[in-house]
Amino acid sequence: MILSSPFTASVAHHYEMPLSLRSFTSLNRALLSSSSPSSLLLRRSSLVPTMAASTTTTVSSTDAAPQLNQSTPSPPPVQVAKRLEKFKTTIFTQMSSLAIKHNAINLGQGFPNFDGPDFVKDAAIEAIKAGKNQYARGYGVPDLNSAIASRFQKDTGLIVDPEKEVTVTSGCTEAIAATILGLVNPGDEVVLFAPFYDSYEAVLSMAGANIKCITLRPPDFAVPLEELKSVVSANTKAIMINTPHNPTGKMFTREELEFIAQLCKENDVLVFTDEVYDKLSFEMDHISMASLPGMFNRTVTLNSLGKTFSLTGWKIGWAVAPPHLTWGVRQAHSFLTFATSTPMQFAAATALQTSDSYYEELKRDYLAKKAILVEGLEAVGFVVYPSSGTYFVVVDHTPFGFENDVAFCEHLIEEVGVVAIPTSVFYLNPEEGKNLVRFTFCKDEATLRGAVERMKHKLRKR
Amino acid sequence: MEGKVSRASRKLEASPIQELSQLAQTCGAINLAEGFPDFPAPPHLKAAALSAITADFNQYRHVQGICHLLATQMKGRHGIAVNALSDFVICCGQSEAFAASIFAIVDPGDEVLLFDPAYETYESCILLAGGIPVYVPLSPPDWSFKKDELMKYFTSRTKALVLNSPHNPTGKVFTRDELETISEACKIMECFAITDEVYEYITYDRELHISLASLPGMQERTIITSSLSKTFSVTGWRIGWACAPANIASAIRNIHVKITDSAPAPFQEAALTALQSPPDYYCSLRTEYEARRDYVVQILSVLGFQVRFKPKGSVFIFAELPDHCELSDIEFVKKLIEKAGVAAVPGCGFFHTTPQPQDGEKYQRRYIRFAFCKSGETLSAARQKMEQCVNEDGQLSF
């Protein structure tokens, strides 16, 4: 057969080498300016207007590392696609390289510094030994599709067909990309809640969507219902939800979900819901939009293995959706990556079949870590917003007297030796995030305590 | 709610290939259709992957060492000097590297040239990016193209040309002459080239794979994509890469980060071992595949297929149906599965152009692609099964 098939939020990544040698403060300027002159040279062919959202932050050619070989002729003008206007070099890369330089404790990157459970790793090892090293079925190894369907049923009460309603992807990041590229047309209106995980905006602009953004505000980041209602119409294609929410830790309440559901049913709108942190729900029960009456048929539920099983580098994610939506997701997926890592899929099936005690222990561990971080941050003098889920906490840094989040984070790395993420990158309008920074507690307790100690001793109000 | 599916993905239809592969499964046919091995991955590679998992290389990673090893290989084999720090993007397979490259450079309305027949995924990526695929036909039986003809396919909207060599499905390896023609055209028209070189180590008869980027003036406009999959028989590990000048690699990387963010971590570690395989490994790879190629060419010839072009590379042979056979390729493969219990791929799915008058009208329905990346036992069993269905001339007949 021809190799085609029918049918997280991952937040930080660790680059061992910096991608750019630009200083952090110039990044600051690039992030906060609303537009910068484009160094993309225009081709002589006609320009096709882009339908991306109106805020522009362009990638300048100085983002790239300088060529080491000076004698090669200068390359042709960078003729990259206009969709790249939304694709900045990510903040996480910049922060990670600065962190290394200053030997800072990294509470910015959203992945654990401890490893996944042995029983899952052993399953991957067995799969490799047993020769499961060739292309898997494009939309997932049958065992994994079944395990995902079973887990979904336990979690939501919904019975889904593993063959027709489950698609396995390279991480939830790819599930998001496949969902948007498979289901959204250029010009379609999509509602997004800010702050948002950075791939949503980027991929929506790749799809040429028209983004309508609703900002969630402290202290409780509640959904502004009337504002949402005013933005949703018969022209709306989809609403994107992330619950539990990165970066704020907010969890969408039943009332909020029911309100959104009502709007969707009235206006025939789809929901794309990213639920990678569903097992890290602490202050309330996680509710899946798909489980609300009348919603399964218009919802794509996205999830992954990485956060729940501390194996973020395995890249096993999935989308659960009714067949008519799954079709689009699978189409896009088959041309994005074609198939997902085979041995890891077998191991993921084993992981998902584990008993509930695993999840209970996971929660207990994370609650303990959260307590260390939150108590520490409060003692140091931050305004700490309550986080109901995920392994993130956002805080207001303004008591320390810095003009914005990027400046604060820079200071925190250089003078205190701790990394946090400036949240302005998670907003369409960076100004809206300038008072907030995000810390993560997916680190071992010693690391968390170490970071808190550093802040207690070295972080001073200006 | 079918209306909810994006226009772009709706253009991409399920192919008759899927039905045939269902049929093959139902009949328990020997699968010479799929382009992946049924023999095990090299032990030293598997061991490296196991070590990586045990040693906790399981979180998001970018293993820079891969880039250094690849850079060394490119310099040594092709004389291309690349910057390991800035010119590489490690992706989930060549599939993702290609998709990310297309999204990095193709705007809606841009034209992208492809040689026909072509692996069907290229077109889908281009369409998803809003681009327009333009096909340059390769003429049977040797899948050549005319120098002066090539330029006619370029327009002011041409953004890139895709070159897959060694070539799926024909097994063609583009010659230096052909590469020079292509490179001249790209330079005159100031467009990119995106190469798919996944079969780069699988060439025969002492034919060497030449990387388009090694030609004068090409490195600065070429995006090279390749992977571990075919060279190391690990198609399920999803480790591939794109290599391009820093500015372009940066653009590709920015897209990749939004599509998957990271290739599977433990397999990136294992890639370090793979890419340090001794020259012996590559020699055996070639020798063993060449033996398989020769075997399959011989069987198919004896069975009446017209093998007018012996593959110079890749793991495929694109054989023409026997002269006397009146069936189309799809009909033939259906019979091959049902009666002989062997599955192959009808060639029509690879063709996208209207046949040129000089090539005859029907050739696009006359080819079958057989994969020979299979163990000796499998190939031998396939031969025996097909031999059950021959007529008195010893030719396969249904």
- The 3 state secondary structure assigned to chain A is CCCCCCCCCCCCCCECCCCCCCCHHHHHHHHHCCCCCCCCCCCCCCCCCCCCCCCCCCCCHHHCCCCCCCCCCCCCCCCCCHHHHHCCCCHHHHHHHHHHHCCCEECCCCCCCCCCCHHHHHHHHHHHHCCCCCCCCCCCCHHHHHHHHHHHHHHHCCCCCHHHHEEEECHHHHHHHHHHHHHCCCCCEEEEEECCCHHHHHHHHHCCCEEEEEECCCCCCCCCHHHHHHHCCCCEEEEEEECCCCCCCCCCCHHHHHHHHHHHHHHCCEEEEECCCCCCECCCCCCCHHHCCCCHHHEEEEEECHHHHCCHHHCCEEEECCHHHHHHHHHHHHHHCCCCCHHHHHHHHHHHCCCHHHHHHHHHHHHHHHHHHHHHHHHHCCEECCCCECCEEEEECHHHCCCCHHHHHHHHHHHHCEECEEHHHHCCCHHHHCCEEEEECCCCHHHHHHHHHHHHHHCCCC
Chain B interface, best mutation among A79, A204, A340, by max B CB count within 10 A: A79
Confidence bin at B18 (pLDDT 50/70/90): low
Whether residue B329 contacts residue B346, with contact meaning beta carbons closer than 8 Å, is answered with yes
Confidence bin at B240 (pLDDT 50/70/90): very high
Any idea which of A89-93, A327-331, B146-150 has the lowest mean pLDDT?
A89-93
Enumerate the residues of chain A whose CB falls inside 8 A of the CB of residue B46: 128-129, 133
pLDDT at residue number B320: 95
Chain B interface, best mutation among A3, A188, A203, by max B CB count within 10 A: A3
Q: Is the dihedral of CA A339, A341, A343, A347 positive or negative?
A: negative
What is the C-alpha separation between B299 and B37, in angstroms, rounded?
A: 19
What is the C-alpha separation between A56 and A58, in angstroms, rounded?
A: 6
Nearest to A128 among B5, B33, B50 (CB): B50
Q: How many CB pairs under 8 A join A and B?
A: 326
What residue of A is the nearest CA neighbor of B122? A335
pLDDT at residue number A51: 27
Collapsed DSSP state (helix, strand, coil) of residue B65:
helix
- State whether residue B3 sits within 8 Å of chain A by CB: no
- Nearest CA of chain B to the CA of A181: how many Å? 7
What residue of B is the nearest CA neighbor of A330? B9
Enumerate the residues of chain B whose CB falls inside 8 A of the CB of residue A79: 105, 159, 192
Any idea which of A13-17, A64-68, A186-190, B91-95 has the lowest mean pLDDT?
A13-17
Whether residue A173 contacts residue A317, with contact meaning beta carbons closer than 8 Å, is answered with yes
What is the C-alpha separation between A334 and B185, in angstroms, rounded?
A: 31
- Interchain CB distance below 8 Å, B61 and A313: yes
Any idea which of A49-53, A114-118, A386-390, B239-243 has the lowest mean pLDDT?
A49-53
- State whether residue B53 sits within 8 Å of chain A by CB: yes
pLDDT digits (tens, 9 = 90+) for A206-252: 999 999 999 999 999 999 999 999 999 999 999 999 999 999 999 99
pLDDT at residue number B3: 53
**What average pLDDT does this structure show over A386-409?**
96
What residue of B is the nearest CA neighbor of A338? B95
Nearest to A132 among B18, B99, B236 (CB): B236
Whether residue A82 contacts residue A52, with contact meaning beta carbons closer than 8 Å, is answered with yes
Chain B interface, best mutation among A272, A336, A340, A344, by max B CB count within 10 A: A336
Confidence bin at A23 (pLDDT 50/70/90): very low
Crossing angle of helices B246-259 and B93-105, in 10° steps, is 110
Confidence bin at B353 (pLDDT 50/70/90): confident
Is residue B159 scored above 90 in pLDDT? yes
pLDDT digits (tens, 9 = 90+) for A156-186: 999 999 999 999 999 999 999 999 999 999 9
- Nearest CA of chain B to the CA of A100: how many Å? 15
Chain A interface, best mutation among B20, B231, B257, by max A CB count within 10 A: B257
- State whether residue A207 sits within 8 Å of chain B by CB: yes
What residue of B is the nearest CA neighbor of A40? B247
Is residue B275 scored above 50 in pLDDT? yes
Q: Which of residues 282-321 of B touch A (CB under 8 A)?
A: none
Whether residue A177 contacts residue A205, with contact meaning beta carbons closer than 8 Å, is answered with no
Q: Which of residues 154-193 of B touch A (CB under 8 A)?
A: 156-157, 159, 190, 192
Helix, strand, coil % (nearest 5) of chain B?
A: 45, 15, 40
Is residue A388 scored above 90 in pLDDT? yes
Chain B interface, best mutation among A312, A335, A391, A443, by max B CB count within 10 A: A335
- Nearest CA of chain B to the CA of A347: how many Å? 12
pLDDT digits (tens, 9 = 90+) for B244-266: 999 999 999 999 999 998 999 99
pLDDT digits (tens, 9 = 90+) for B23-72: 888 889 999 998 989 999 999 999 999 999 999 999 988 899 999 999 99
Confidence bin at B4 (pLDDT 50/70/90): low
The whole-chain average pLDDT of chain A stands at 84
Single-letter residue type at B277:
S
pTM of the model: 0.84
Alpha-carbon distance values, B346 to A258, B165, B354, B387 (Å)? 51, 21, 17, 20
Confidence bin at A94 (pLDDT 50/70/90): confident
Nearest to B103 among A16, A135, A206 (CB): A206
- Interchain CB distance below 8 Å, B1 and A87: no
What residue of A is the nearest CA neighbor of B53? A121
pLDDT at residue number A63: 34
- Nearest CA of chain B to the CA of A269: how many Å? 9
Q: Which of residues 322-341 of A touch B (CB under 8 A)?
A: 324-325, 327-328, 331-332, 334-341
Enumerate the residues of chain B whose CB falls inside 8 A of the CB of residue A61: 247
- Interchain CB distance below 8 Å, B95 and A270: no
